[in-house]
Amino acid sequence: MELPAIHQTQTHPSTLVPPPTQQEPHLQQYISLLLRTCRTQKQIKQLHASAVKTHQMPSISSSLLSLYSNSNPQIGSLEYARSVFDRIQEPTSHSWNTIIKCYVENHRSHDAILLFCQLLFQQPRLSPDNFTFPCIIKGCARLQAVKEGEQVHGLILKTRFGSDLYVQGSLVGFYSKCGQVVSARKVFERMPERDLVSWNSMMDGYVKSGQVEAARELFEEMPQRDLFSWTVMIDGYSKCGMIEAARQYFDRMPVRNVVSWNAMIDGYMKCGDCVLAKHLFDEMPERNIVTWSSMVTGYEYNHRFMDALEIFEEMLKAGLVPNGAALVGALSAVSGLGLLDKGRWIHSYMRSNGIKIEGVVGTSLIDMYSKCGSIENALEVFRAIPRRSHVGLVNEGRRYFEMMRSEYGITPTAEHYGCLVDLLCRAGHLEEAKDVIEKMPMKSNEIIWMSLLSGCRSHGNVEIGEYAARRAIELAPDATGCYVLLSNIYAAAGQWDNVSLLRGMMKERGLRKDPGCSSVEHGGMVHSFVVGDRSHPQAEDIYSKLNEIRERLKCAGYIPDTRQVLLYVEDKEKEVELAHHSERLAIAFGLINIEPGKTIRVVKNLRVCNDCHLVTKLLSDIYDREIIVRDNSRYHHFRNGSCSCKDYW
DNA sequence: TTAGGGTTAG
């Protein structure tokens, strides 16, 4: 849309506020009128710019806020909505409700709750109303935040909005979604009048908690049924495996929409009837993105990998851009077949269509490359994934820390500073972390310096690492941990002279690094191993198992990560050192002795090294074994080639 | 005067 030129008002040079001119009312009406015709975000932004330029913002900001809050991403934008909201001098209840809803719709319910608290505690002239409560209750439901939702419920009972039909209905929905059917039913029973939505929410609560008969009773009881009620029943009977009953509802319902067809298709897929699912898919009058994704994931679920890929390609040919669900389904199908080229093709499709490689989709891509035998590509994807999600959380962390003081008047303790430093270190903000420690009002302890030191180890920062180690050693000269971490940093940077210096220093001070030791329980005994251990009665078998492991890892394309080996030795020797780490011995022992299908559980006294972590992931896949390693800081649950810590530890 | 709660894939 080309906008006609707007005459700019004359601005008085000495003041920021323009003097009133005759043009203004016209200009305001003109912009307001044009806003109503906006169909794209670009058009809204153009008018927004004009309004800023001509000082018309105060009069149109609430219309702009509503437009930017539109749930259609072609029109709405959370960031712009927030920016408009923040510049409204005195936001009305309506503005607050709009922005809170916008956050909930954009899956940012935590922020919605924060805003709700601000409205509650910092706006003496305003308070939540019958429009605010349904929004915030929905946010709590999205987060499965039962406690918070119950608190809001308590608040509602203290206001006059407890009798509002929408507020009551939203509470039924909240308790239903959180699996609290008894509470949902209590609210439902106390409603003086019930509309369709409340009946449907209540039924859905029963369905989601597996009580399909209770849902059916309500369905029979309810005064009138629309589309939603029927679809809830189809979904309910499908989910509990009663596919014929689901089909009866589908056949009996007076009007169907795409959602009811989708629910029925998914039902057939989940009970393994791909033929009937495909039949419905071919018959249906209208399909949406969920229809296609359900087909792809449904075929994949039934191990019909080729069919999954065919329907996925058909979806692309139909001009649809696949969403996360469809991509994950297609990539899993590729993994199932081991079709590396097909996987690469999907990857390049994603790149050329600007689909962000992050989150679950990123993990699926890594998983696909690993399962197709290309560890290099898997690593490439892994390294290329922007850790923005972490960046976002770092920002949130900083903000919450700040809010403790500024908004809640809580003085942070040493533990709070410790958390902030840990957060910053993990994300690589080492300078900032150092700054936080130095500026904290209380005396720093060795623990907080150690956390900076370990951040420096993960991010390979020698300079700050040395500084942190010095401070930690000053405070706790006998703690071996910081010497070890610092020598890890030196070793990774190839500064072997410093490694020897540090070793000398430790010797001088009579400090010894705890040797890595891993144990496995078997046959009522604990079997312990240290690095290179040959003392176990089954040593011979264990070492031949390690040889076999080495071969199988090589076939899987594994390249040893020798950065954390402390010894000043050639690369080949480093690999041998790695291959005999105590946890490898323990796992080899487990593979020999613990019967197939049973989990191998290892306990290690030190932190598991990067290379052993990667190897254990691969082994869990190669040998199809669940392996659980408890190191000195956390549990690592390895299964199907990945670890529960998502490589972040 | 405007706005709010319910169904399908992962």
Q: What per-residue confidence (pLDDT) applies to A345?
A: 95
Confirm whether A280 is domain-assigned: no
Q: Closest residue to B1 by CA to C1' distance?
A: A94
* Angle, vertex CA A403, rays to CA A397 and CA A408, nearest 5: 135
Whether A490 and A571 map to the same domain: the answer is: no
DSSP state of A22: T
Whether A503 and A553 map to the same domain: the answer is: no
Whether A441 and A538 map to the same domain: the answer is: no
Confirm whether A143 is domain-assigned: no
Whether A592 and A638 map to the same domain: the answer is: yes
Confirm whether A583 is domain-assigned: yes
Alpha-carbon dihedral angle through residues A459, A462, A468, A473, given to the nearest 10 degrees: 120
Q: Strand B nucleotides below 7 A of a protein CB? A: 2-10
- Tell me which of A508, A533, A554 is where a domain ends: A508
Give yes or no for CB of A363 within 7 Å of strand B. no
Whether A524 and A636 map to the same domain: the answer is: yes
Whether A481 and A543 map to the same domain: the answer is: no
Q: For residue A604, which phi and psi values (nearest 5 degrees)?
A: -120, 145
Q: What per-residue confidence (pLDDT) applies to A8?
A: 36
Q: Closest residue to B5 by CA to C1' distance?
A: A170
Confirm whether A48 is domain-assigned: yes
Q: What per-residue confidence (pLDDT) applies to A54?
A: 85
Give the other-Cβ count within 10 Å of A442's Cβ. Answer: 10
Beta strands in A252-337 (DSSP E): none
Q: Are A161 and A130 in contact, with CB atoms under 8 Å apart?
A: yes
What's the CA A37/C1' B1 distance, rounded, in angstroms?
19
Closest CA to A322 of A291, A279, A362, A343: A291
- Tell me which of A71, A89, A107 is where a domain ends: A89
List the structure tokens of A246: 């689901």
Give yes or no for CB of A621 within 7 Å of strand B. no
Q: Which residues of A in 82-101 have their CB below 7 Å from strand B's atoms?
A: 92-94, 97-98, 101
Whether A463 and A524 map to the same domain: the answer is: no
Angle (deg, nearest 10), helices A289-301 and A258-270: 0
Q: Is A27 exposed, middle or buried (0-12, 13-18, 19+ CB in 10 A)?
A: buried
Whether A479 and A595 map to the same domain: the answer is: no
pLDDT, tens only, A346-368: 999 999 988 888 888 999 999 99
Give yes or no for CB of A59 within 7 Å of strand B. no
What does DSSP say about strands A635-639 and A517-522: parallel, antiparallel, or unpaired? Answer: unpaired
CATH number for A463: 1.25.40.10
Which nucleotide shows the minimum CA-to-C1' distance to residue A232? B7
Helix (H) or strand (E) holding A604: strand A600-604
* End-to-end alpha carbon distance in chain A: 51
- Tell me which of A508, A531, A551 is where a domain ends: A508
Whether A560 and A504 map to the same domain: the answer is: no
Contacts of the segment A14-19: beta carbons below 8 A, 24+ positions apart: A17/A55, A18/A55
Whether A556 and A475 map to the same domain: the answer is: no
Question: Which domain range does residue A542 map to?
Answer: 519-643
Q: What per-residue confidence (pLDDT) applies to A572?
A: 64
Laid out side by side, the sheet with A642-643 consists of A525-530, A517-522, A600-604, A627-630, A635-639, A642-643
What stretches of A338-445 show up as alpha helix (H) in DSSP? 340-352, 359-371, 375-384, 388-406, 414-426, 430-439
- Distance of alpha carbon A475 from alpha carbon A11, whole angstroms: 63
Q: What is the DSSP string of A452-467?
A: HHHHHHHHT-HHHHHH
DSSP state of A603: E
Q: Are A142 and A104 in contact, with CB atoms under 8 Å apart?
A: yes
Give yes or no for CB of A332 within 7 Å of strand B. no
List the structure tokens of A352: 């050329």
pLDDT, tens only, A427-449: 788 999 999 999 998 898 888 99
Mean pLDDT by 10 residues, chain A (649 residues): 35 38 68 84 88 84 91 89 92 95 92 93 92 96 92 95 95 95 95 94 94 94 92 94 95 94 96 96 95 97 95 95 94 90 94 87 91 84 72 74 77 87 86 92 89 85 90 85 82 82 83 79 82 88 92 86 58 71 92 91 82 90 90 82 77
Confirm whether A338 is domain-assigned: no
Give yes or no for CB of A259 within 7 Å of strand B. yes
Give yes or no for CB of A202 within 7 Å of strand B. no
Confirm whether A127 is domain-assigned: no
What's the CA A10/C1' B1 distance, rounded, in angstroms?
33
Q: Which residues of A in 571-610 have their CB below 7 Å from strand B's atoms?
A: none
Whether A495 and A532 map to the same domain: the answer is: no
Give yes or no for CB of A444 within 7 Å of strand B. no
Between the CA of residue A57 and those of A46, A91, A315, A547, what are the distances in Å? 13, 13, 44, 72
Give yes or no for CB of A197 within 7 Å of strand B. yes
With DSSP H G I counted as helix, E B as strand and the rest as coil, what are the percentages for chain A, rounded to 5? 65, 5, 30
Give A628's strand partners.
A601, A637
Q: What per-residue confidence (pLDDT) applies to A410?
A: 77
- The answer for residues whose C-beta is within 8 angstroms of residue A87's C-beta and 6 or more apart is A57, A61
Q: Are A533 and A585 in contact, with CB atoms under 8 Å apart?
A: yes
Confirm whether A342 is domain-assigned: no
Confirm whether A180 is domain-assigned: no
In chain A, how many domains are there? Answer: 3
Tell me which amino acid residue A228 is: F
Closest CA to A450 of A439, A433, A387: A433
What's the CA A59/C1' B3 distance, rounded, in angstroms?
18
Alpha-carbon dihedral angle through residues A294, A297, A301, A302, given to the nearest 10 degrees: 70
What's the CA A170/C1' B4 distance, rounded, in angstroms?
9
Residue with structure tokens 């609560």?
Answer: A205
Q: Are A70 and A78 in contact, with CB atoms under 8 Å apart?
A: no
Give yes or no for CB of A106 within 7 Å of strand B. no
Whether A473 and A587 map to the same domain: the answer is: no
